[in-house]
Amino acid sequence: MIPEVKKEIIDLGNGRSISLETGKLAKQADGSVVVRMGDAMLLATVVSARTSNPDIDFLPLTVDYREKFAAAGRFPGGFLKREARPSDQEILTMRLVDRVLRPLFPKDYHAETQVMIQLMSHDENVMPDALAGLAASACLALSDIPFDGPISETRVGRLNGEFIINPSKAELEDCDMDIMVGATIDSVSMVEGEMDEVSEKEMAEAIKFAHEAIKVQIEAQNSLVAQVGAKETREYEPEKENEEMAQKIYDFAYSKCYDIAKDGTSKSERGEQFAAVKEACQELFTEEELEENGDLIGKYFGKAQKEAVRNLILDEKIRLDGRKPTDIRPIWCEIDYLPSTHGSSIFTRGETQALATVTLGTSREVNVIDRPTEQGEEKFYLHYNFPPFSTGEARPIRGTSRREVGHGNLAQRALKKVLPSDFPYTVRVVSEVLESNGSSSMATVCAGTMALMDAGVPLKKPVSGIAMGLISDGAKFAVLSDILGDEDHLGDMDFKVTGTEDGITACQMDIKIKGLSYEILEQALEQARDGRMHILGKITETIPTAAEHVKAHAPKIVKVEIPKEFIGAVIGPGGKNIQALQEETKTEIVIDEVDDLGIVEILGVDQDGIDKAIQSVQNVTFTPVEGETYKVKVVKILDFGAVIEFVPGKDSLLHISELDWKRVEKVTDYVNLGDEIEVKYIGLDPRTKKPKVSRKALLPRPPRQEKKKPQENK
């Protein structure tokens, strides 16, 4: 018997709706829900362990999002016909959901918790990542897991000046804004997206528009819970506390931490001094007290340290490195640092440093996207690497982390808006973070801009980026420009903004407090603009405009269009012709079929080789035009004419009767082997179906001689 299903409908307008359904699937999970929009269906489940691990002091939360190929009626690519590691886009969706959910669990809840979201049915008119946050929240709301929700996430696009909630992929391609917003019913907590140089005011309006839609989605979750019946929140063992110990550590450490924070020392010096105070806290307690509650020292010291640093900023407007809230750390930049790359740059801001490289290639080097919900290619892509030495650590490297995927994607979105659409190369940017103390992703944007310009990529405008922070106690607040790593950890907001002199191109924001006012948000955006303009000035001092040409050792690329029917002739049997041509000219040749044309990309360092390759392709596709005159070469002498060559591989017979208007007895009286002569192409011989050329057609026709009349007999 099919169980009773509970359902709620969210009306999006224009005949679109989202349904929330529970009671049919995955009933052994702590909470499960099916979210549907059109034919797109996501199943979200959550399970949390009943007991906590006493050895950890954090929430072991896993958010997993997967798109099943069967959902789109497709087979997985590759040798193993099975879904394997998540794609970058799946990882990015996991991060979007995780960043909104994680702060809403109780600070002392440490039970293993897993949220799984699966795309079970795909609709090409629905972008499922915009539904993942709603699905995750709904299954949590239906469970007994302690969670200060519900929340939801929604995508906002702007098409022809009008905001749209959850636009289709086709609509999004024409939008000048694409942002994802996550929020509770009273507070925005996450923003991420890209835009075409919009103003700070327009961005704030888009966030407000999204929040209104999110409120409706949260009410629908509450209604669904009411239908099912709210479960009583489970009890769990809270963290061990000792108020006497906490007060003792606070009294001892607070003023010391305040003084250290006020000194304006470097990250390493500050860290050593804080560690010394933490170590001294141990001496406040007996061996028996330490044996029983020694594990609490780090926790209570951290609280005292955090409060001291925050109060210093709020009360005296002094930051950990001695700056004022609006100050930007010292910046130095350099381009063309690496001699063998196609473009390179170093961007250093304070104790954060990124080394960026650019590589130029053909369409063969595009990044192929093959997902159930999307197939395509990226001609521009950026990879971000964050090695452990950048923060003075030694730890094993086990593949690309989710953080690296997320930060690289943000920098890619920031820069792709300013790349020219007609740039013929495939472009790869790699950012190697060499030092990190605050926003290496924004350093990547700045380094990437300079490396692209150094490589000769004609950016529409240079882009800079800055990370903003916020400290607030409810009554007072301070917006911080160019935050340090510690300020990110101790603060209430991490807000990254990138853009040109004319507007924002990308953003990423995480807010850790409830009830952030739009006034504070707008102040942060305006302060970020001032910071971006300062950093942009440093970039343009280093490299004012893009290099006019790619570097001498970088490949040059030329595109040649040929009729589709000649593609096979250029490639040759088994690729024989094109391989030989590449070997001979030291070039790389790629051919793509687009509509009725073959697009031939010729890539090489040596211009002579490129020119020779172009000529060879043009020779293959050469077709004489009837009535046109051509300069040809005599390549063979026959008794009945001469074989002439238009271009290598394209020849024709010049018949002896077409050499001159008068009778020709001997071909060599008119042409010889190796001669270059002009001929006119007459067309295909109707009898032989072969090309017919004439030399005499270019010569003056002799006057006709009248025939003498026979004399009459007298």
Q: How far apart are CA 465 and CA 458, in angstroms?
A: 19
**Which of 695, 618, 617, 691 lies closest to 651, judged by CA?**
691
Q: How far apart are CA 17 and CA 9, in angstroms?
A: 7
Pairing of strands 367-371, 691-694: unpaired
Per the rule left: phi > 0, alpha: psi between -120 and 50, beta: everything else, 517 is: beta
SS3 74: coil
Q: How far apart are CA 307 and CA 258, in angstroms?
A: 9
Q: How far apart are CA 326 and CA 319, in angstroms?
A: 10
Structure tokens at 637: 């002498």
Structure tokens at 69: 């190929």
Dihedral pair phi/psi, residue 592, rounded to 5°: -120, 145
**Which of 297, 234, 236 lies closest to 110, judged by CA?**
236
Q: How far apart are CA 168 and CA 158, in angstroms?
A: 12
User: Does 488 carry a binding-site annotation?
Assistant: yes
Q: What number of other Cβ atoms are within 10 A of residue 311's Cβ?
A: 17
Q: How far apart are CA 371 and CA 546, in angstroms?
A: 35
For residue 446, what are the CA distances in angstroms to 355, 372, 497, 535? 10, 34, 12, 8
Q: Hey, which bits of 145-271 come out as E strands?
A: 152-159, 162-165, 177-183, 188-198
For residue 188, what are the CA distances in angstroms to 151, 207, 481, 487, 511? 10, 8, 20, 20, 7
Q: Which residue has the tokens 């954060």?
A: 352
Contact between 76 and 83 under an 8 Å Cβ cutoff? The reply is yes
Q: How far apart are CA 174 and CA 157, in angstroms?
A: 9
User: Does 639 carry a binding-site annotation?
Assistant: no
| Residue list for the binding site | 488, 494
- Residues tagged in the binding site annotation for Mg(2+): 488, 494
